[in-house]
C-alpha cells in the first residue's frame, strides 16, 4: 500500500452484514468535492485525490470480517 492510502481515514462498519447497495451518486459527489473528478471539462482534477473502495456489492462487512 502506498503512502497516500496509509494517511487516508478508514470507515468501519457499524454492524456485521453484507453490502446491499453502494450509493454511487453520493460517492460521485464526494469525488467532486475532493477534486478527484470534474463537473465541467474546464475543472481541474487533483492527481493525488481519489476514493478507494475495499468492498463491493454482496461482500461481507463488519468487525468480524474486517481485515
**Mean pLDDT for the chain overall:** 76
**Residue 13: predicted pLDDT:** 63
**Residue 7: predicted pLDDT:** 59
**Residue 1: predicted pLDDT:** 45
Domain boundaries, the chain: 1-67
H or E stretch covering 26: helix 24-33
Distances (CA, A) of 2 to 6, 14, 51, 59: 7, 27, 14, 24
For the range 11-14, what are the long-range contacts, defined as Cβ-Cβ under 8 Å and sequence gap of 24 or more? 12/63, 12/66, 13/61, 13/62, 13/63, 13/66
Say whether pLDDT at 60 is over 70. yes
Say whether pLDDT at 33 is over 60. yes
**Residue 66: predicted pLDDT:** 40
Please tell us whether the domain made up of 1-67 is placed in CATH 3.40.50.720: no
Amino acid at each position: 500500500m502506498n503512502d497516500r492510502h496509509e494517511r487516508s481515514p478508514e470507515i468501519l462498519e457499524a454492524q456485521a452484514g453484507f453490502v446491499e447497495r453502494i450509493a454511487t451518486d453520493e460517492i460521485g459527489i464526494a469525488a467532486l468535492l475532493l477534486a478527484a473528478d470534474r463537473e465541467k471539462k474546464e475543472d481541474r482534477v487533483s492527481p493525488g485525490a481519489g476514493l478507494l473502495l475495499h468492498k463491493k456489492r454482496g461482500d461481507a462487512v463488519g468487525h468480524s470480517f474486517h481485515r
